Structure 1
Amino acid sequence: MTEIAHRDVQVNGLRMRIAEAGSGPTVLLLHGFPESWYSWRHQLVALAEAGFHAVAPDQRGYGGTDRPERVEEYSIMHLTGDALALLDALGVDRAVIAGHDWGAPVAWHAAQFRPDRVRAVIGLSGIHRPRSSRPPLEIMRRTLGEDYYMVRFQRPGEADAELARDLPATFRRLLTGSSGDAAGDAPVAFESDGFLAGFPEPGKLPGWLTEEDIAAYAAQYAAGGFTGPLNWYRNLDRNWELTAAWHRAPVTPPALYIAGERDFAAIAPDRVAGLRGLIPNLREPVWLPGCGHWTQQERPAEVSDAMIGFLRSL
């Protein structure tokens, strides 16, 4: 069995914890919210055994990586800067960058900002979308209301405290409730008694998730909590301001999109075709029937096979 190694590296002024396995061309794996390097545990092994150097960091504010205090230090410029500086720390000129959930916009923007450093990009759940004409929070408030989760996440301390109150319960409820195994659609709004009220305690865990997995996530959040991860959401308007120079700029490296057909965050298949002008080298998307939001954890073998096939085609 391929071993996953862990070490700390200095990246962009931070101490960053990384997990890595294998040798060969580098594939950087960027996790989403509320996750860590652990969400890529299956792909680290599969990619290593296929002849690649797979590296999954705890991103800024998460797990074993430093947690800056200032909200503005979690902008998309900081996050893409971390990813590219990690390549420098690894001694790598160019790499494929894959990202899931919040890791996806970091991967897409890294490819957009620095195509000279990004050999190809893989987006899981999230795909690159055109920059909006108005600040995103303004649009969300107008169309989705004040209780939409991204809007409510702007309130300092509120979701931070709720999510940290009972860590095992938080991960059981969020991971199950946004998966393809959930009874209904994942809720995207706060209820009167909080965000987690929309995610009932599951009677049993889905087959892809174990109590050991829940314990691993809970342990990784025990020291740092959720403020760092939630600060990513608190930069939505700042990111919109900072990326004005790249308005409608294409993402030119080869690209792959992988999504679950039951993922609340995935874009509809007919809309993917409309994005080819912005992602001219987008390959045929991979759709996973019955899969929810936690793509690479719910369908590890299918996702690994799709990634390896894409990597070998480059």
Structure 2
Amino acid sequence: MEPGRAEKDFGRFDVKTVIRNIYILFSRSELQIAGEGEEIMDLVELSAPLPAWFTEDDLQVYASLYEKSGFKFPLQMPYRSVHRMMKWVDPTVEAPAMLIMCEKDYCIKFPGMEDYIKSGMVKQFVPNLETVVMPEGTHFVHEQSADEVNKLIVAFLNNHVLTG
């Protein structure tokens, strides 16, 4: 795919700054929208601190990994490949699945998303979905509350062990 707006936006900064900005932006509970003439990377003040649970060491490790791999795949999946996924004959996921998200995750603020998840409409496509909505945490709950999330995942896996 042709490099797009996000690649141009990210390309203005070094990898460490992009990762830093993403963690700051997506750890907020409000939906971030770039206005006319600005890009997503413009929404972070240079003086904004990292989230308390994300250290400078974490940032350095993540930046070193993205320096090797780049941002191409994260920008392709699933945002730019959803049109290919829509061609599936039956997009239903029958396997047991678990969704862990937080009340303060900005994603739940997308129009209709909270109702789609909490009403159970999502089970039309994932009938065996177990949903856990944690009261605290944001988009990175798996990093913010790693012990709690790990316990939820282990319990889920223990409840769905295949026998035979």
Query: Could you say which TM-score interval applies, normalised by the shorter chain?
Result: 0.7 to 0.9
Specify every segment of 5 or more residues in structure 2 that has no aligned partner in the other structure, as ranges: none
Alignment partner of 1:262 out of 104, 127, 132: 104
Listed one character per residue, the Cα deviations across residues 210-233 of structure 1 (whole Å, up to 9, x for unaligned) are: 001111111112234223332333
The residue aligned with 1:251 is 93
Q: Which amino acid aligns with 1:260?
A: C
Listed one character per residue, the Cα deviations across residues 71-96 of structure 1 (whole Å, up to 9, x for unaligned) are: 4xxxxxxxxxxxxxxxxxxxxxxxxx
Poorly superposed stretches of 4+, deviation over 3 Å: 188-191, 269-272
TM-score by length of structure 1 reads 0.44
Alignment partner of 1:234 out of 80, 98, 106: 80
1:162 to 2:9 alignment: yes
Measure, in 2, the Cα distance between the counterparts of 1:302 and 1:163: 32
Shift of 1:264: 1.7
TM-score by length of structure 2 reads 0.78
1:294 to 2:140 alignment: yes
Specify every segment of 5 or more residues in structure 1 that has no aligned partner in the other structure, as ranges: 1-70, 72-154
Equivalent pairs counted in the alignment come to: 153
Shift of 1:191: 4.6
Listed one character per residue, the Cα deviations across residues 253-299 of structure 1 (whole Å, up to 9, x for unaligned) are: 2222210111122331664312333332223x211223111121121
Alpha-carbon spacing, 1:200–1:186, altered in 2? closer, same or farther (3 Å): farther
- Larger relative contact order, structure 1 or 2 (CA cutoff 8 Å, min sep 6): 2
Listed one character per residue, the Cα deviations across residues 63-115 of structure 1 (whole Å, up to 9, x for unaligned) are: xxxxxxxx4xxxxxxxxxxxxxxxxxxxxxxxxxxxxxxxxxxxxxxxxxxxx
1:200-211 paired onto structure 2 within 5 Å: 200-201=45-46, 203-211=48-56
Alpha-carbon spacing, 1:224–1:275, altered in 2? closer, same or farther (3 Å): closer
Alpha-carbon spacing, 1:171–1:186, altered in 2? closer, same or farther (3 Å): farther
Larger relative helix fraction: 2
The residue aligned with 1:173 is 21
The residue aligned with 2:154 is 308
Measure, in 2, the Cα distance between the counterparts of 1:197 and 1:178: 14
CA RMSD of superposed structures (Å): 2.4
Alignment partner of 1:212 out of 54, 57, 75: 57
